[in-house]
Amino acid sequence: MKKILVTGANGQLGSEIKELAANYPNFDFIFTDIEDFPLDKATEIISNFKVIQPDIVINCAAYTAVDKAENDPETADAINHLAIATLASLCHDSGIKLVHVSTDYVFDGSSPVAYKEEDVPNPKSVYGVTKLAGETACLTNCPESIIIRTAWVYSEFGNNFVKTMLRLMSERESLNVVNDQVGSPTYAADLAEVILTILDSGKWEPGIYHYSNAGEISWFDFASDIKEMAQKSCEIKGIPASSYPTPAERPAYSLLNKSKIKAVYGIGAVDYRVSLERMLKRL
C-alpha cells in the first residue's frame, strides 16, 4: 500500500482530499497541517519526513493570503518557495513522487488567449512571485515532479469567494463586484479528484499541468451565478478593478488552457456551473 503524505490538510484542497480518501483504499493517507508539519522550518520538514517515510507527497500547503503577502514577503517566500525546495530535494533523493499545487497568479494577465503550460510567467504580486519561485525550485530539485496550476479555488471548507458572497448577500441589499478580471473558478473537490485520479492511474508524466473548471467568466459573473443558484435577492453591480484597489495586483485575464491534462491523462474539465451547484448543495 502506497503511503501518501498530504501537507496543508486543513485547507480547502487538503480537506477535499480527506473527503475522497475512503474511495482510494489502495492508498494510506497521512494528513498533516501547519501544527504538526510546519513548512517554514526546514529542520522540521526533514525530521518529519524521516518519521513518515512517504511514497508520494501531495503539497497542498501554501501561503495564500494574497494581499497580506505584500507586507509579509519573507513568510510567503518561506512557505511558497523555500519549503518547496526542501520538500523537492527530499523527494528526489528518496525516489518519492511529488505533486505540487501552484497558481494562475504566476501570469501577468496580459494574454489574449488562455494560458498554456509553456507560456512565460510574469507574476505581478509577492504571492505570484513566491509561487513561481516554488515551481522553479520544485522542478530544479525534483525534475520528476508534477505541478498543477489552478485558479479561483473554492469549496465548502475554509474562506473563499463563494462563502464570502453568500454571507454578504445575506447581509446587504447590494454588492459591487469586479467585472474586468476574467478566468475560471475551481471547485477544490474536482481538483482533489484530478490529483487522486493521476496517482491512481499508475501513469507518471512529470511536468506542469493546468486545471480549473470549464468556463470563462469575471468575478461579477461568478457572483451573479451564486446569487441565482442560492436564490438571493441582493443586487450585484459590476465595477472595474480600478474602483476596488487592493494591495496586491491581480491578473486581469488568467484563464488556463487545460488541453495538456486532457491529452496526457484523459481528464476533462467539469463545467463551473455544474460544480458550483454541487458545492452549494453540499454546503
The catalytic residue positions are 127
**What is the grid cell recorded at 94?**
528518496
Distance CA 164, CA 28 (A): 34
Distance CA 42, CA 177 (A): 40
For 252, the 3-state DSSP assignment is coil
Buried b (16+ CB within 10 A) or exposed e, 100-119: bbbbbbbbbbebeebbebee
Torsion angle of C-alpha atoms 103, 105, 107, 111, degrees rounded to 10: 100
Bridge-based pairing state of the strands 182-183 and 217-218: antiparallel
Handedness of CA 74, 75, 76, 82 (dihedral sign): positive
For 54, the 3-state DSSP assignment is coil
List alpha helices for 54-112, DSSP H.
Answer: 66-69, 73-77, 83-94
For 99, the 3-state DSSP assignment is strand
Q: Which of 61, 230, 216 is nearest to 138 (CA)?
A: 61
